[in-house]
Structure 1
Amino acid sequence: MNAYRPLVAGLLLAASCVASADTRLTLKSDAGDYIGQGKNYLYTDANATFRYSKNFDNGITLNINSGSAWWTLDLAAPGDAQLRPGSYEAATRFPFQAASEPGLSFSGSGRGCNTLTGRFDIFAVSYDDQGVVTGLNASFEQHCEGATPALRGELSYNMVAPMGVSTVGLTPKRYTCLNRTSGQRLTLKSTATLFDCKQAGLQVNPGDRVTISINGIAE
């Protein structure tokens, strides 16, 4: 599963997914979103090329080319720190973010935001000796010019995608991770808003079907 972020708060949320080791970028654009033009996109090694580099804020730049479509994603932690697993809230447009803010920008195919607000989650990341990313699981959400419509993306590169969730508008109390293929189940008490079932001990192989349920209190 690519990083899944529930969008509706409630007493019980559930996510269902299939594990995959493919390199892929999924984009979901709301109606009215300028960058994605209200469309959904799926890029994999079969229909696109992916090139990663380190940007000048010590973050990650991803360039995607697919036929006539081209995109650039930039992610950066506050204070030029190296990106690590965690949730990065209140992001603003890279590279113009304040030193105390995360930087985020997804643009391309002739379209970009003048200003933006958003957030992103890093579920897992690895680097080579030069600090260039060699594996990444992440998700992001951005809003151009303070508008309500959003562009949401889920990215998995050179790693089995995480069995994870990031909750918004919900104070979690318990997570239940079920591998429907093997039958393994984990139920764990946690108030973490970023939770990965694999890191908690769920055994997952490519192709396995997994369900994640969250019990908590709506904010």
Structure 2
Amino acid sequence: MPSALNQLEPGNYTGLQRYPFNDPAKGGLSWYGEGRGCNTLSGSFSVDSVRYVAGSLTAIDLRFEQHCEGGTPALRGTIHFRSGDTTAPPGPVRPIPGGLWRPAPGATPATGNYVYLQSDAGDYIGGGATTTYTPATASIGVTASGGHLSVSVDSWSGDFQAMATLSEIEAGYYADLRRYPFHNPVKGGLSWYGQGRGCNTLLGWFAVDRVSYTGSALTALDLRFEQHCEGGVPALHGAIHWDA
């Protein structure tokens, strides 16, 4: 905020440069994260409402816009904050909706671990192929760390990330996901890639039908997913059945 103020006030703060290298008389801003930030920027922010109690910020509604490196594309954001609000984002949907993709009856092995991939014609990642991997044909690796699952098989890799409020993957439907790790942390993310191919952007979902832990160690998983690259209609579907 401008150096003439000792706390934010409602109003528009314009002509700003990157904090903390800004003009103190005008104020500054900088939004950055996930290893990315502007070297230089121009921008503004507007405080629609703000409240302090005994000098401590307790509520604010703020909008901002910033442009990196003199460019035209903008990052815009809205912040609504109340210090006493304990509301948490929702977790995965349970029960899992019935109309989601699943392998056709008989398409997957009746026993044992497997990764089943079914690619539509025109899907760049899977190349339109349908493939089943079992321990007899490829090494299948499944690991969990907090709310993140990693799957590896042959030359493929998959990342499945729960919403940031979960400390581990839970059963349920994770919808409206974008590419991991550039996803919305409130919703989670996914990415299936390999053989030299991956999506720049994607839209998809995954559903965890079964998951078990012993302590913090993952011991069992049944998961289905769907992803669409670059806004396209063709999908890559997958199903993972795994027991430690």
Deviation at 1:53, TM superposition (A): 2.1
Q: Return closer, same or farther for 1:45/1:101 CA change in 2, 3 Å cut-off.
A: same
Determine helix, strand or coil for the equivalent of 1:26.
strand
Partner of 2:213: 127
Structure number with greater Rg is 2
TM-score (norm 1): 0.60
- Do 2:165 and 2:186's aligned partners in 1 also have CA atoms closer than 8 Å? no
Partner of 2:224: 139
Alignment of 1:1-219 (within 5 A): 6=99, 16-17=105-106, 20-55=110-145, 58-65=147-154, 70-79=155-164, 81=166, 82-129=168-215, 131-158=216-243
TM-score (norm 2): 0.54
Determine helix, strand or coil for the equivalent of 1:100.
coil
What whole-Å deviation, never above 9, does each CA across 1:39-86 have from its counterpart, x for those lacking one?
11110011010112235x631001112xxxx00011111115121111
Gaps of 5+ in 2: 1-95
Deviation at 1:108, TM superposition (A): 0.6
Determine helix, strand or coil for the equivalent of 1:34.
coil
- Do 1:59 and 1:80's aligned partners in 2 also have CA atoms closer than 8 Å? no
Q: Return closer, same or farther for 1:155/1:49 CA change in 2, 3 Å cut-off.
A: same
What whole-Å deviation, never above 9, does each CA across 1:84-118 have from its counterpart, x for those lacking one?
11111101111111111221110011110011000
What whole-Å deviation, never above 9, does each CA across 1:16-51 have from its counterpart, x for those lacking one?
458823101111101110100011111001101011
Q: Distance in 2 between the 1:142 and 1:99 partners?
A: 18
The one-letter code matched in structure 2 to 1:58 is G
Q: Higher RCO, 1 or 2 (CA under 8 Å, sep at least 6)? A: 1
Determine helix, strand or coil for the equivalent of 2:223.
strand
Deviation at 1:132, TM superposition (A): 3.9
Q: How many residues matched?
A: 144
- Do 1:52 and 1:132's aligned partners in 2 also have CA atoms closer than 8 Å? no
Deviation at 1:7, TM superposition (A): 6.3
Gaps of 5+ in 1: 9-14, 160-219
Question: What is the aligned-residue RMSD (CA, Å)?
Answer: 2.4
The one-letter code matched in structure 2 to 1:51 is G
Deviation at 1:126, TM superposition (A): 1.4
Q: Return closer, same or farther for 1:6/1:19 CA change in 2, 3 Å cut-off.
A: farther
